[in-house]
Amino acid sequence: MDYQLAAAKYVRDLIVWVRFDDGIEGEIDFKPELYGPVFEPLLDTSQFRNFDIYPELRTLVWKNGADVSPEFLHEMARHTQSVPGQSARA
């Protein structure tokens, strides 16, 4: 499926809020995902928080060349978004 990232903003620590054009949105904690030579520099929040939405692929990219697939972001956001009418602690 072709997921289009519509918006993203830095929240805190290694967490980014994302919203897709299909309405899926949520906060993603990247800490468990930042391993390997391209991603480890992003453990420094001053580098992590400086991302952009790549216009052609509609996904997150960082200045050091790291990027993540829109499918990964969509899946992570889908699993973190709360269901209306339910407590986030349910």
User: Cα dist. 71→19, 75, 86 in Å?
Assistant: 12, 6, 26
Domain ranges, residue 28: 5-80
pLDDT at 57: 87
The count of structural domains within the chain is: 1
- Is residue 89 in some structural domain? no
- Is residue 45 in some structural domain? yes
pLDDT tens profile 22-77: 999 999 999 999 999 999 999 999 999 999 999 988 999 999 999 999 999 999 99
- Is residue 90 in some structural domain? no
| Domain CATH for 33 | 3.30.2020.10
- Reported as half-sphere exposure (CB side, CA atoms, 13 A), residue 64 has a value of 16
Tokens of 69: 């697939």
Residue 85 has pLDDT above 50, yes or no: no
Q: In the structure, what pLDDT confidence band is assigned to residue 82 with cuts at 50, 70 and 90?
A: low
